[in-house]
Structure 1
Amino acid sequence: MANHPSHCPDGSAAQVDRLATAYWDFLLVREPLLRTRRGLPVESLPGVSAAEADERAGFAAGVLDRLGTPQPAELSGPAADTAGFLRALAEQEAEAGRFHWLTPTATPYQLFRLQQYGDTVFRPFRFDNRADADRYVSLVRDLARCVATVGDKVAGQAARGFHIPVPALAGVHTTLTRLRASATRYVRAGAERLTRLDAASRGHLRDAVAGLVAAELEPAFDRLLALVGDPDLLRRAPQAVGWAHYPEGEAAYRAFVRTYTSSDTPPERLHELGREHCRELSERMREMRGTLGFAGTEAEFHERLATEPRLYAVTPEEVEARYRGHLDRLTPLLPRWFAVLPRAPYGVARLDQALEASMTFGYYDPPTATQPVGRYRYNASDLVHRSLLGAAALIYHELAPGHHFHLARQAENTTLPDLRRELVPFSGFEEGWAEYAAGLAWEMGLYDDPWDAYGRLAHERFTAQRLVVDTGLNLGMMTLEQARTFMRAHAAAESEGQITTELLRYATDLPGQALTYRAGHAEFMALRAACESGAGAAFEVRAFHEAVLAGGTLPFPALRRRLARELHGASGRQQRYQCSPEEGE
């Protein structure tokens, strides 16, 4: 059934739901992180082979064919949302298949899932019987195969003229070396985890895993390390970064931008928008420096920031305390702004140290069946150079009312189809909501401390400069040094090391993804402004937030239709309650 979704030429709600179920069944077999979130046993780990990419793209093409072209008015509210979700998801997957060989794979953020497997698959694995031991051995073999397919793709890309640029190679080598050491550790289950197994099963497990590590896993990593360090490939690796330098690279980048932003706004317009926002935010930051009693230049003020004791922690525990303090101020205010709060608790925990050198900040780790707390995994490396100026803005983005409110609410919403409860495929919504939520703290009075206010403005400008630099690098409008100069001028507290990893993230690792923060924020601000204008005195911010969050992740065209429908129904007016900016689908 999974390979043949039901045909729904007339777009009926029941047929759309069946198609969503078929898509969910297809993914649930192939995505281990979806299975762990549902508390299901992981049976296999996917690779990044061309055959697997073709299978997924082919399924997506079938979904688009079967979905047909229903008009939103023909569907009920939830079905209209699901149809919009399905169409955008399938279009993304089809595009990913088209540009398989132009998508990076052996770079730090792309390799992140290999580390995630340690945290979500191997370390929590329960051994109750011999069948569990056999399944575990099979997963270790799959992990080795996954690493091998990364090597295959690197070799295939090189044959097609796609090489990791020289400036990124050192970070790639460091990440791979650390992942090799981490993976060979996390697959070896300690004796304390095997107490429920009989002696024969324990011996079989230890011997089989040791054999696979030596014969398959370590060699797969070693081959990959040799590929990225191959002298012949190094001679052909470009010094310049950005997708415009690859054959068909510009077309691929434009597709990445559409996928990440859920918008047809061209990257050239995003580039100019970023420059406009940087100018506006620079002026607000100048005014805030005056509030702090500083009359010098921005550069002089930022020199002071580098030595301001209140902006630096000495230990990871101090970092956590700072984040928790900001959350404690937020908590009593939440009911005034949100009609429904997530049931899952949230907190902070340090990032795996194997990833800290190659990740600028950290990431949000959503609740799962085995780990029911949503956590911000923060980077605690190099604390002497890691400013906490933006700590308030960061934690409001990552946890409450940002990512955690979005993702935990979505997972807890049993009225959504499984596909929409568990997937977060539209980064413009995901990061845009988190940035909107962090900005909401202005209205909540949480940036009343001028240092926190300056940190929020600096954070906003940091996301705005991404619009400039990501597009500039990948369309060939900026060199790496020009981008570094621009970013340095618009980054308040980031170290040179952080600037370097950020630039390589944009131009060698996740092209287009960094646009989602400011572009998504702008979408949410425009949506709210339109809803406020349409409702007038009847506008209620809690209703707006609930209309957004109760529908889960949606591409922006579908979200615009949802807000117009939901808030019009809630307003009690006869005339249409307009919640859509002028831009159409």
Structure 2
Amino acid sequence: MHKLIVSLSCAACLAAASLHVSATENADAAFHKIYTQEWTWRQAQFRGEDDEDHSAGEPADHFPKVDAATQSMRERYWTGVLKQLDTIPTGQLHGDDPVNYAVYRYQIETLLADQHFRTWEMPFNSDTAFWSNPGFTARRPLRNAEGYRRYIALLNDIPRYFAEETVNMRAGLARGFSVPRVTLTGRDQSIADVADAKGDDNLFYTPFKHMPDSIPAAEQAALRAAGRRAIQQSVIPAYARLLDFMRNVYMKQARTTLAAEAMPDGKAFYQSQIREFTTLDMSPDAIHALGLKEVAKIHAQMEQAIRDSGFKGSFAEFLYYLRTDPKFYPKSADELLKDAAWIAKRVDGKIGQYIGRLPRQRFAIEPVPADLAPFYTGGRGGPGIYLVNTYDLPSRPLYSLTALTLHESSPGHALQMPLAAEHEGLPDFRRYTYISAYGEGWALYSERLGVEMGLYDTPYDRFGYLSYQMWRACRLVVDTGIHHLGWTREQARAFMRDNTALSEHEIDTEVDRYIAWPAQALSYYLGEMAIVDARAKAEKALGPKFDLRAFHDTVLSLGSVPLPVLQQRIDQFIADGGKSPYASSSK
């Protein structure tokens, strides 16, 4: 297994050397050669990093190498790719390749920026962590004996993977590049849950509890025995060592500052993160000012929703009413899940009026796994799944559930991401990558579509929708406040408490997420604004020729792209008379 990783690294060096654009090659062919080689290399480099694998049918049998030498090699490789991209005469690209080039160049520049700032020395935040990746893998069904063998090999690779990540975290601590200490309380519990679980109760034994009948009984028994050995000899010791490091080293030595700008080369790092997550070159001050303006605008709309509800008190009193009246909260996890399913089904009945091409892949609605739920967001969606957090039910308001469901399921993440993956006309680097400003912008815009669909049935539902819009506008203020203006954690919590209807638990988990994940929170509202502005521009320019389904199909046909690319595509949509990208194929 380790030889395979080494050979891939050597192959990467050879591939980098061969990325030479011949003078006789046309621009399109030269560009295709560069991105095809790099994408194949990239898939091999990061095989096993997450629970989705687009390069092969079988699950990974190893985790990526993440040591410093490998990171340096990747930086050299992508530097070479960028130099090759500089040789492409972009004016000679045809068809979709000008867009492909813009998307691909942004990807490579972002990957290189992360290598430059050594973000791999801080391989987790309050939302996601490298030690959770194996846990998600353990929850996936395995189809055959080979899948189980590969899974067992993966388990046996956890000690090596965790050891490399631990070395990286030590290097980050040594230079003051770490997750802020204030956000770490309780984050060790998910590690302890694995380290302390013995035998068949361990999370990693999950795939062995229900094995396919196609595997003979004797082979099932042998695989279970091998799985138990891997858990006992590799998984539990690796998690125990990580737990000891986190509790006795990292959580004691992590920085006490909050701001990204307080870290080494912090101003440049934060600006780099802003560009990565928003795809824009806006300054923190400009984003902060925009956020304050949008907060004031949405606040006025929320005041109107309060009046519509018949409530006679102040804004603060209404928020207290929403946070404390039991009628606004589910009485059981089943009630929350069933309400989410009902909302999703209502969307099914309307979605065809708004989007022409829909994905083939459907999605399930499941609770967030119990070991992740205490620090997880209220919900999360993606290809095939909409996870609803049923932990701490008094913090899961039903008046926000419609907006949450539109964002995470359909027409949000569980529609957009599979639709991109099914778009065979796009290169893989556009089908299977995720740019936050586009993806989160579309999901937030999907909440807005709920107004047009008539899904916010009561003034409370509409207030919940507006509170979610306000939540994302507040992120522009809070993220820049923390990382640029020196806000304290309590300042951030107070701003969220005063302006949104989020529960105290949600406010705490969200603020810690913003502290530990600089600039990611900026992508949502800026992305939505780009789509809303593009739609308004198209409606004005096309007049009666504007077709909403054609507009949405155009936006969704792009895969995941930087916002300037989206804006350019809508300009072309207008120039083409508002035609759907699928108009010719539907004849």
| Structure 1 segment 122-201 matched on structure 2, within 5 A | 123-128=140-145, 134-180=149-195, 185-188=202-205, 190=208, 192-193=210-211
Tell me which of 44, 53, 64 is aligned to 1:46.
64
CA contact (8 A) 2:476 2:521 kept: yes
User: 2:533 & 2:393 partners in 1: Cα distance?
Assistant: 37
Tell me which of 271, 275, 279 is aligned to 1:258.
275
2:47 aligned residue: 31
Q: Deviations for 1:173-209, whole angstroms, at most 9, x for unmatched residues? A: 2233235457982433536528766788667655554
Q: Deviations for 1:202-250, whole angstroms, at most 9, x for unmatched residues? A: 676555544443444333322322222226x656443332212222222
User: 2:554 & 2:438 partners in 1: Cα distance?
Assistant: 14
Pair 528,326 (structure 1): closer, same or farther in 2 beyond 3 Å: same
Letter in 2 for 1:311: F
Pair 47,106 (structure 1): closer, same or farther in 2 beyond 3 Å: farther
Question: How far did 1:297 drift?
Answer: 0.8
Pair 206,343 (structure 1): closer, same or farther in 2 beyond 3 Å: closer
Q: Deviations for 1:258-313, whole angstroms, at most 9, x for unmatched residues? A: 10111111122111111111111111111110010112111111221124344211
Tell me which of 374, 385, 388 is aligned to 1:357.
374
DSSP-derived class of the 1:170 partner: coil
Pair 313,448 (structure 1): closer, same or farther in 2 beyond 3 Å: closer
User: 2:342 & 2:297 partners in 1: Cα distance?
Assistant: 30
Tell me which of 361, 386, 410 is aligned to 1:344.
361
Question: How far did 1:559 drift?
Answer: 2.0
Question: How far did 1:413 drift?
Answer: 1.0
1:455 aligned residue: 464
1:505 aligned residue: 513
CA contact (8 A) 2:142 2:148 kept: no
DSSP-derived class of the 1:92 partner: helix
Q: Which moved more, 1:312-321 or 1:211-220?
A: 211-220
C-alpha RMSD over aligned residues: 2.7
Percent identity over the alignment?
30
| Structure 1 segment 16-95 matched on structure 2, within 5 A | 16-29=31-44, 30-32=46-48, 33-35=51-53, 39-68=57-86, 70=88, 73-95=91-113
TM-score w.r.t. length of structure 1: 0.88
Tell me which of 543, 563, 569 is aligned to 2:550.
543
DSSP-derived class of the 1:376 partner: strand
DSSP-derived class of the 1:295 partner: coil
CA contact (8 A) 1:45 1:143 kept: yes
Higher relative contact order (CA 8 A, sep 6+): 1
Pair 563,295 (structure 1): closer, same or farther in 2 beyond 3 Å: same
Pair 16,350 (structure 1): closer, same or farther in 2 beyond 3 Å: same
CA contact (8 A) 2:305 2:459 kept: yes
CA contact (8 A) 2:99 2:565 kept: yes
2:568 aligned residue: 561
CA contact (8 A) 2:122 2:178 kept: no
Q: Deviations for 1:419-474, whole angstroms, at most 9, x for unmatched residues? A: 222222x1000000111121122223323521211111000001111111111111
User: 1:28 & 1:317 partners in 2: Cα distance?
Assistant: 39
User: 1:211 & 1:63 partners in 2: Cα distance?
Assistant: 43
Question: How far did 1:551 drift?
Answer: 1.8
User: 2:73 & 2:224 partners in 1: Cα distance?
Assistant: 35
| Structure 1 segment 458-469 matched on structure 2, within 5 A | 458-469=467-478
What residue ranges of structure 2 are gaps of 5+ in the alignment?
1-10, 580-587
Pair 250,183 (structure 1): closer, same or farther in 2 beyond 3 Å: farther
Pair 1:422 & 2:432 matched: yes
CA contact (8 A) 1:527 1:560 kept: yes
TM-score w.r.t. length of structure 2: 0.87
Question: How far did 1:149 drift?
Answer: 2.2
1:390 aligned residue: 400
CA contact (8 A) 1:133 1:201 kept: no
Question: How far did 1:568 drift?
Answer: 2.0
User: 1:435 & 1:303 partners in 2: Cα distance?
Assistant: 25
DSSP-derived class of the 1:466 partner: helix
2:386 aligned residue: 376
User: 1:323 & 1:197 partners in 2: Cα distance?
Assistant: 36
DSSP-derived class of the 1:349 partner: strand
Tell me which of 310, 313, 331 is aligned to 1:293.
310
DSSP-derived class of the 1:389 partner: helix
Pair 1:13 & 2:13 matched: no
Question: How far did 1:37 drift?
Answer: 7.8
2:584 aligned residue: none
